[in-house]
């Protein structure tokens, strides 16, 4: 690889740099960064004037479905979708079959990621917190951490037992990785399909009350206070009440972080009136006030990370009655466009702040090495065109599944390429 990235705007939260530079890359490493570099012999010049050069994006909440559900997605198709969306790394959640509750499954996921798509997308497993994700017995955390797990979660289900959560926090603290909680009090959400409120009553759909999320977050914060050396991360936060708990815990100096999905800061519960099963996800789409709270949480820094909760399902699985459809949507290829359109264009976040939540913060939370823009460092880069206007066409998604409510959405901002592990891919 011999590349000269010419005239791009380097936006790097780790160093605070926001400047137009040329970047010379040789054999996968940054050889030189300067205001102007003449094209060396044998190098390919990439004109990036008006484009953004950012540290490689990582999605810390992705369902790759393999092993066990390859009809929905595979590690290969998921990595192709991630690369197209501008991500150089993804974290695979453990609700596979078998669950990632064993060293062999964790190693399989980690190694399979290296063998697909020329290894341009790093795949990190999230180990199950409990055996089989059943919530009754801790998984072998030491073995999973040694096999490459960068966090522990029973995502898809909450860690409902307070005693199991306490033990999970204690043991995970030994390995410097977070417990990632799907915050839901399960006795309050049985058979629920959408946010509980006036809209669910009008539509005649059983609701999922926001208090179910808020209760679990509040309980876990109390437990975290009892195990202060642990690290706790709230997955796909969606309610203003839960966010209020996180904000207070942060102000008290607790080791707590959280993430939000693009659909939870973009869509409101009213879209469920279409009965399009692609509007069904867990946690569900919430109220206008909750959406506004998510944006404020991003603005004030309470929300650390933007993650997609990419959850592929086949057309047949989604083309059923709303109450019978599975939860979840794909999101890897629409994330950047939604972020730029909804957050940067509307001045919720600056480009620097957005990149921090897509790259710098998730790596810090997962104890992954930071990406550095300096000579001799590995080139791990996402290239972004902030002005590119495009329309979502589900038929063109690289994901094996097409379940998204954003078909036809007109967005501004798109990833145009990634560089990682000595490989380069331009969209």
What class does CATH assign to 2-52+375-388+411-426?
A: mainly beta
- pLDDT at 193 (0 to 100): 98
Q: How much is the average pLDDT of 15-30?
A: 98
- Three-state DSSP at 132 gives helix
Q: Give the residue among 183, 249, 247, 184 at the shortest CA–CA distance from 221.
A: 249
Which CB contacts under 8 angstroms, 24+ apart, belong to 168-171? 168/129, 168/130, 168/138, 168/141, 169/223, 169/224, 169/227, 169/230, 169/232, 170/227, 170/230, 171/138, 171/141
The span from the CA of 84 to the CA of 90, in Å, is: 13
What number does CATH give the domain 56-365? 3.20.20.140
Residues 6+ positions from 260 with CB-CB distance below 8 Å: 236, 237, 238, 294, 297, 298, 303, 305, 306, 307
The span from the CA of 186 to the CA of 23, in Å, is: 51
Q: Which residues are catalytic?
A: 309
For the beta carbon of residue 37, count every other beta carbon within 10 angstroms. Answer: 18
Q: Is 14 exposed, middle or buried (0-12, 13-18, 19+ CB in 10 A)?
A: middle
Averaged pLDDT score across all residues of the chain: 98
CA separation, residue 209 to residues 191, 197, 273 (Å): 12, 8, 18
Q: What angle do CA 230, 235, 239 make, to 5 degrees?
A: 115
Kindly tell me if the per-residue pLDDT of 427 is higher than 90: no
> In this predicted model, what pLDDT tens digit does every residue of 130-185 receive, in sequence order?
999 999 999 999 999 999 999 999 999 999 999 999 999 999 999 999 999 999 99
Share of the chain above pLDDT 90, in %: 100
Instruction: Give yes or no for a contact between 199 and 213, defined as CB atoms under 8 angstroms apart.
Output: no
> In this predicted model, what pLDDT tens digit does every residue of 299-348 receive, in sequence order?
999 999 999 999 999 999 999 999 999 999 999 999 999 999 999 999 99
Give the DSSP letter string of 192-244. Answer: --EE-SHHHHHHT--EE-HHHHHHHHHHHHHHHHHSTTS-EEESS---HHHHH
Q: How much is the average pLDDT of 242-257?
A: 98
Give the DSSP letter string of 381-406. Answer: EEEEEEEEEEE--GGG-SSS----TT
Helices 240-251 and 288-300, interaxial angle, to 10°?
20
Identical fold for domains 2-52+375-388+411-426 and 56-365, yes or no, is no
- pLDDT at 231 (0 to 100): 98
φ, ψ for residue 376 (rounded to 5)?
Answer: 90, -10
CA pseudo-torsion sign 153, 154, 157, 159:
negative
Q: What angle do CA 370, 21, 354 make, to 5 degrees?
A: 50
The span from the CA of 47 to the CA of 149, in Å, is: 38
Q: Is 241 exposed, middle or buried (0-12, 13-18, 19+ CB in 10 A)?
A: middle
Longest dimension (CA), the chain: 68
- pLDDT at 157 (0 to 100): 97
Give the DSSP letter string of 231-297. Answer: -EEESS---HHHHHHHHHHHHTT-SEEEEE-GGGTT--GGGGGG--GGG--SSPP--HHHHHHHHHH
Q: Where are the domains of the chain?
A: 2-52+375-388+411-426, 56-365
DSSP code for 168: H
Instruction: Give yes or no for a contact between 383 and 415, defined as CB atoms under 8 angstroms apart.
Output: yes
| 63-102 b/e (C-beta count within 10 Å ≥ 16 → b) | bbbbbebeebbbbbbbbbbbbbbbbbbbbbbbbbeebbbb
> In this predicted model, what pLDDT tens digit does every residue of 205-242 receive, in sequence order?
999 999 999 999 999 999 999 999 999 999 999 999 99
């Amino acid at each position: 690889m011999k590349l000269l990235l010419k005239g791009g705007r380097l936006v790097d939260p780790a160093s605070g740099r926001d400047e137009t530079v040329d970047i010379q890359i040789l054999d996968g490493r940054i050889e030189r960064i300067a205001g102007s570099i003449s094209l060396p012999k044998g190098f390919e010049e990439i004109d990036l004037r008006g484009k953004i050069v950012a540290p490689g994006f990582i999605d810390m909440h992705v369902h790759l479905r393999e092993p066990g559900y390859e009809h929905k997605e595979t590690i290969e198709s998921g990595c192709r979708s991630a690369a197209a969306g501008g991500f150089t790394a993804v974290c695979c959640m453990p609700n596979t079959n078998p669950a990632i509750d064993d060293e062999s499954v964790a190693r399989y996921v980690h190694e399979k990621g290296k063998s697909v798509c020329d290894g341009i997308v790093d795949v990190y497993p999230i180990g199950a917190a409990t055996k089989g994700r059943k919530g009754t017995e801790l998984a072998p955390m030491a073995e999973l951490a040694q096999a490459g797990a960068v966090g522990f979660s029973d995502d898809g289900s909450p860690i409902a037992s307070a005693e199991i959560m306490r033990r999970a926090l204690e043991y995970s603290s030994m390995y410097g990785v977070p417990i990632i909680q799907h915050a839901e009090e399960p006795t309050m959400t049985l058979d629920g399909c959408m946010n509980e409120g006036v809209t669910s009553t009008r539509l005649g759909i059983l609701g999922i009350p926001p208090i179910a999320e808020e209760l679990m977050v509040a309980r876990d914060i109390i437990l975290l206070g009892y195990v202060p050396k642990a690290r706790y991360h709230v997955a796909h936060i969606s309610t203003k009440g839960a966010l209020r708990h996180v904000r207070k815990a942060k102000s008290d100096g607790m080791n707590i972080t959280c993430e939000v999905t693009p659909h939870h800061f973009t869509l409101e519960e009213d879209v469920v009136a279409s009965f399009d099963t692609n509007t069904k996800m867990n946690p569900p789409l919430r109220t206008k006030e909750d959406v506004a709270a998510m944006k404020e949480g991003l603005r004030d820094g309470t929300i650390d990370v933007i993650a997609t909760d990419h959850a592929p399902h086949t057309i047949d699985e989604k083309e059923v009655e709303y109450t019978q459809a599975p939860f979840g949507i794909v999101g890897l290829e629409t994330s950047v466009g939604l972020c730029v359109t909804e957050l940067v264009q509307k001045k919720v976040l600056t480009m620097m702040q957005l990149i921090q939540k897509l790259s710098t913060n998730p790596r810090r939370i997962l104890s992954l090495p930071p990406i550095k823009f300096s000579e001799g460092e590995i080139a791990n880069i996402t290239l972004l065109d902030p002005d590119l206007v495009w329309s979502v066409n589900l038929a063109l998604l690289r994901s094996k599944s097409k379940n998204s409510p954003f078909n036809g959405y007109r967005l501004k901002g798109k990833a145009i390429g990634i560089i990682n592990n000595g490989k380069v891919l331009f969209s």
